């Protein structure tokens, strides 16, 4: 597969555990590679690593170019897969011109970008000016590396972010964001009902909570809360009791599965099956094509030791129903661009507490914060408390950008296709880095990656070759 150097390094990265906040082994690998190639490297306190490559002969006077990407990946797998991300390598599968993994996330986000930088560092045939390859940490959970970047680590003021997912699309701006964590106390009691029942909601597509939020893919937690409320309403009062609804664990992934735990009659299977048959068609029709695989798996389970009291059960269901989720507003400046959104990302009940995580994004920081206040109001009304993260800034595009103009002209010349220059509803590290390092001219691009943050993640082989070819030519021109 072309380019061979990039794919060699991608395969090596796939064999190294690198979930967010577990990047020690991959960083050690990068430093070992730099040492083997005789290249200087430097690391800041949070773990960000820069590897420097001197200019090609005769190019020493060119401006320093920063190539940037993150080393961590979202670690998700299909239920029952049994993959241990702390030690098991990602299984790479080539299929119909794409590379995917075996029922886990692939790590093309941002492993392809990191592999491209390693290929650039190793490739002695490339022509370029001075290079700084900046590998950042913990992008996926909190943009920690970018937010805590020591700005003295890099000298360049031209930055190529290699963390985009659409061939021919060039990002010049992005949304800011903020994650919030809430806790709501609840009362529990021993269940009156004699049996335990689990309803596993599955088959939703999931996806990126930023760039895919407008696709209405369905949120398993919101849908699970609705299922519980409607089911309990359809049954005799007190016959069923809620123990928990649980799902999601990543702020930037739309929950695609949820588990509902109920106490109910010993012969409750019949009632559950009848209700599932009734509502599955309704829910799937509301979701459209995205609901085609929606399913509910019913299982008899051990009797729950505790269930929510009737009052707490109502608080729980009201909380899940009232939380804002999905697109909250569209841009008034850029047609078709989501301006503000919220993702109900994670929910579980433990130790007489509802634990909730949400993610808010907006190209307007005031609207981002206002969405956070709305969530806070809902949590307060439920009797809970909330903590908001520091958040990260939006990336406003430069009105004048020689880098943008050169990159898009090169793309047109190489492919014959017009470049798509866009702002995206997601958090890119460019926004944070540009806020910390004055005078940056930045652009983000990459190959075709689909299903990021889900076990359906895949990368198109042919687009990777085009991506690396463009990157090589761009470095020659800068």
Q: Among residues 334, 446, 454, which one has the least CA distance to residue 394?
A: 334
Beta bridge pairs of residue 181: 357, 387
Active-site residue, selected from the candidate residues 23, 139, 165, 339: 139
Q: At what angle do helices 461-477 and 108-122 cross, to 10 degrees?
A: 50
Q: Is 469 a catalytic residue?
A: no
Q: Among residues 201, 168, 250, which one has the least CA distance to residue 415?
A: 168
- The pairing of strands 420-424 and 169-174 is parallel
Q: Are 346 and 247 in contact (CB under 8 A)?
A: yes
Q: What are phi and psi of 410, to 5 degrees?
A: -60, -40
Q: Is 441 a catalytic residue?
A: no
Q: Are 448 and 409 in contact (CB under 8 A)?
A: no
Distance of alpha carbon 464 from alpha carbon 127, whole angstroms: 20
Active-site residue, selected from the candidate residues 72, 109, 138, 163: 72
Residue 95, number of CB atoms within 10 A of its CB:
8
SS3 78: coil
Integer Rg of the chain from CA: 24
Helices marked H in 219-332 — which ranges? 220-234, 269-287, 310-322
User: Positive or negative, the Cα torsion across 11, 16, 22, 27?
Assistant: negative
Helices marked H in 38-187 — which ranges? 108-122, 139-142, 144-147
What are the C-alpha distances in Å from 374 to residues 190, 325, 378? 34, 11, 6
Measured torsion, CA atoms of residues 93, 94, 100, 102, in degrees rounded to the nearest 10: -20
Q: Phi-psi bin for 454: left (phi > 0), alpha (psi -120 to 50), beta?
A: beta
CA angle in degrees (0–180, nearest 5) for 159-42-172: 15
SS3 162: coil
Catalytic residue numbers read 72, 139
């Amino acid at each position: 597969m072309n380019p061979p150097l990039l794919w060699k390094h991608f395969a090596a990265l796939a064999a190294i555990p690198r979930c967010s906040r577990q990047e020690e082994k991959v960083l050690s690998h990068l430093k070992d590679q730099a040492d083997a190639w005789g290249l200087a490297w430097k690391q800041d306190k949070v773990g960000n690593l820069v590897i420097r490559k001197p200019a090609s002969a005769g190019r020493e006077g060119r401006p320093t170019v920063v190539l940037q990407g993150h080393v961590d990946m979202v670690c998700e797998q299909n239920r029952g897969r049994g993959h241990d991300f702390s030690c098991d390598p990602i299984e790479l599968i080539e299929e119909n011109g794409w590379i995917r993994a075996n029922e886990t996330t692939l790590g093309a986000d941002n492993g392809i970008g990191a592999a491209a930088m390693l290929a650039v560092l190793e490739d002695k045939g490339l022509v370029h000016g001075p290079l700084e390859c900046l590998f950042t940490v913990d992008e996926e959970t909190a943009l920690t590396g970018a937010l805590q970047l020591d700005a003295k680590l890099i000298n360049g003021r031209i930055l190529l972010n290699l963390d985009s997912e659409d061939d021919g699309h060039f990002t010049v701006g992005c949304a800011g964001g903020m994650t919030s964590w809430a806790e709501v106390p609840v009362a529990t009691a021993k269940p009156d009902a004699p049996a335990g029942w689990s309803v596993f909601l599955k088959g939703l597509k999931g996806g990126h909570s930023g760039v895919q939020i407008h696709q209405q893919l369905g949120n398993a937690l919101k849908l699970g809360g609705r299922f519980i409320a409607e089911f309990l309403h359809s049954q005799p009062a007190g016959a069923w009791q809620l123990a928990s609804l649980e799902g999601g664990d990543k702020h930037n992934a739309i929950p695609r599965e949820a588990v509902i735990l109920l106490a109910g009659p010993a012969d409750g299977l019949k009632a559950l099956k009848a209700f599932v048959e009734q509502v599955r068609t309704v829910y799937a029709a509301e979701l459209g094509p995205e609901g085609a695989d929606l399913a509910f798996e019913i299982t008899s389970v051990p009797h729950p030791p505790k269930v929510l009291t009737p009052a707490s059960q109502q608080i729980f269901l009201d909380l899940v129903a009232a939380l804002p989720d999905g697109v909250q507003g569209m841009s008034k400046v850029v047609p078709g661009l989501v301006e503000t959104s919220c993702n109900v990302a994670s929910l579980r009940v433990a130790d007489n507490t509802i634990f909730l995580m949400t993610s808010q994004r907006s190209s307007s920081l005031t609207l981002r914060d206002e969405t956070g206040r709305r969530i806070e109001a809902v949590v307060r009304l439920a009797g809970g408390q909330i903590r908001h993260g520091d958040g990260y800034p939006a990336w406003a595009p430069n009105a004048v950008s020689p880098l943008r103009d050169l990159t898009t002209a090169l793309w047109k010349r190489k492919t014959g296709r017009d470049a798509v220059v866009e702002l995206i509803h997601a958090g890119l590290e460019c926004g944070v880095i540009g806020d910390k390092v004055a005078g940056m001219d930045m652009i983000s691009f990459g190959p075709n990656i689909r299903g990021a943050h889900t076990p359906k993640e895949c990368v198109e082989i042919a687009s990777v070759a085009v991506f690396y070819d463009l990157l090589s030519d761009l470095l020659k021109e800068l």
